[in-house]
Amino acid sequence: MDWDYAVAAGWIAPVETVWMSVSRRREVPVPLYRTGDVDALLEIPGVPWERVRVCRPGEPSPLREFAPREPSRAAVLRRWLAEFGARHDIEVWAVYDRISGRWLIDWEMSEGHPTREEVQAAIEADPVVSVHAADLTLSTEFGAAIRWARDMLEPGRAVVLDTETTGLGEDDVVVEVAVIDAHTGRVLLDTLVNPGDVKVGAGARAVHGITDEQLAQAPGWDRVLPKLRRMTKGKTVLAYNAEFDRRMVVNTSARHGLRPLHLGQSTTWGCVMNRHSAWMCTQRWQALGGGHRALGDCRSAREVLISIAQLDQGRGQGKPLLVTPPSDRASGDPK
């Protein structure tokens, strides 16, 4: 830190700057100085070098008064986020990616605005924040996840579905299905399903704990599917692993010679799990933790959806999610 103040005060300047790789995707600049210039620092009159020598870690440097520091990139960006959000009466979001050293920026939209081009123009028009334009990424997957989650939580827009099954294979079928309203959380369907002659695998039973005795008294798929189609008609069907649940609904219907109708179409479904990973800025699968019963998993998936929409803080590989809506909230400590 003392060295940074000496550079900022203009007492010493690098003779050359080289770039060094610190990861597969990132390089950092490394300034090089003459040793003679470093030695000459001690000859500068009026500098309290003895106080510098005894200054403990965490204490303010005595050199601070000689070199007022420019605002950090984070401070500049926070200011711009607040001003831009207030000007357009929208939320503006940013995540600092510690791996790439870049800021990922996205924002709330109203009737398709502001567009990416409009935001880019606003950055370029700001003489301070434009200096950091090369370090900013606009229009991100995490921002798309936020907008999507808010849309899915609108009244009448979507339902959340979950299934428990006899196993994970192509010949396995549904043994439990639940559906709740995404907006209200109201339970629309919650039933066991008799799998007929398909046996529950030991691995599946260890997960959900549904017994043969429970299933023996349950309705068959021929009675459950009409209700399921009715409860989901005209809605986006959300699931934490949408492709798996869709496949199980299709497989079970085919085994009974029934048509899943809209439930067989991939465009009907939305995957909360994929959006959750995008929101957390990671490609890793995130466990749901819903107890592995259909209704509990539905509720847990809805909680994840709400977390995305409400921008719970501290998500995503320890990277702070900086939120600056018109109320001028801000948090996080990136560079």
**Residue 164 shares a structural domain with residue 220:** yes
CB atoms within 10 A of CB 127: 7
Task: Identify whether 334 is part of a domain.
Answer: no
pLDDT of residue 97: 80
Spell out where the chain has E strands.
16-21, 27-32, 92-97, 102-107, 136-138, 158-165, 174-181, 187-192, 236-239, 269-271, 321-324
Q: What are the phi and psi torsion angles at 159 (to 5°)?
A: -125, 160
198 in the same domain as 93? no
Q: What is the CATH number of the domain that holds 206?
A: 3.30.420.10
For residue 105, the tally of other CB atoms under 10 A from its CB is 23
54 and 111 assigned to the same domain = no
Residue 318 forms part of a structural domain: no
State whether 170 and 304 are in the same domain: yes
Residue 328 is assigned to a structural domain of this protein = no
pLDDT at 169: 93
Kindly list the strands in the beta sheet with 136-138, ordered across the sheet, starting from the edge strand earlier in the chain. Answer: 136-138, 102-107, 92-97, 321-324
Residue 178 lies in a domain: yes
pTM for this one? 0.75
Considering the domain architecture, whether residues 59 and 113 belong to the same structural domain is answered as no
The answer to whether position 169 is within a domain reads: yes
Look at residue 223 and tell me if it is in a domain: yes
Say if residue 48 is preceded by a cis peptide, omega within 30 of 0.
no
Residue 231: domain span: 150-310
Residues in Cβ contact with 78 at an 8 Å cutoff, skipping those fewer than 6 apart: 322, 324, 330
Residues ≥6 apart with Cβ < 8 Å to 138? 105, 106, 116, 119, 120
Which three-class secondary structure state does DSSP give residue 241?
Answer: coil
Note the pLDDT of residue 333: 39
> Is 335 inside any structural domain?
no
DSSP string, 244-282: HHHHHHHHHHHHTT---GGGG-GGGEEEHHHHHHHHTT-
Cβ-defined contacts of 194-202 (< 8 Å, 24+): 194/218, 194/219, 194/220, 194/221, 195/166, 196/220, 196/221, 196/255, 198/166, 198/171, 198/172, 198/173, 198/255, 199/166, 200/166, 200/167, 200/175, 201/166, 201/167, 201/172
Whole-angstrom distance, CA of residue 301 vs CA of residue 39: 62
Are 249 and 269 contained in the same domain? yes
Domain count, the chain: 3
pLDDT at 318: 36
- Which of 84, 113, 138 terminates a domain? The answer is 138
What does the radius of gyration of the chain's CA atoms come to, in whole angstroms? 28
What pLDDT is recorded for position 332?
A: 38
Burial of 308 (0-12, 13-18, 19+ CB in 10 A): buried
Give the residue among 224, 273, 231 at the shortest CA–CA distance from 252. Answer: 224
What residue ranges of the chain have pLDDT lower than 50? 314-320, 325-335
C-alpha span between 12 and 87 (Å, rounded): 41
Domain boundary among 83, 105, 138: 138
DSSP secondary structure letters along 54-102: HPPTTSPPGGGGGSPPPPPHHHHHHHHHHHHHHHHTS-EEEEEETTTTE
Q: 287 and 227, same structural domain?
A: yes
Please enumerate in sequence order all residues whose Cβ is within 8 A of that of 69, keeping only pairs 6 or more positions apart, or say none. 4, 5, 8
| Same domain flag for 78 and 62 | no
Residue 270 maps to a domain: yes
Residues 174 and 297 in one domain: yes
Both 286 and 179 in one domain: the answer is yes
* Cα 147 to Cα 265: distance, rounded to the nearest angstrom: 23
**Residues 154, 100 share a domain:** no
The pLDDT of residue 74 is 84
| Domain co-membership, 59 together with 77 | no
The pLDDT score that the predictor gives to residue 197 is 92
Task: Please report the pLDDT score of residue 106 as a whole number.
Answer: 93
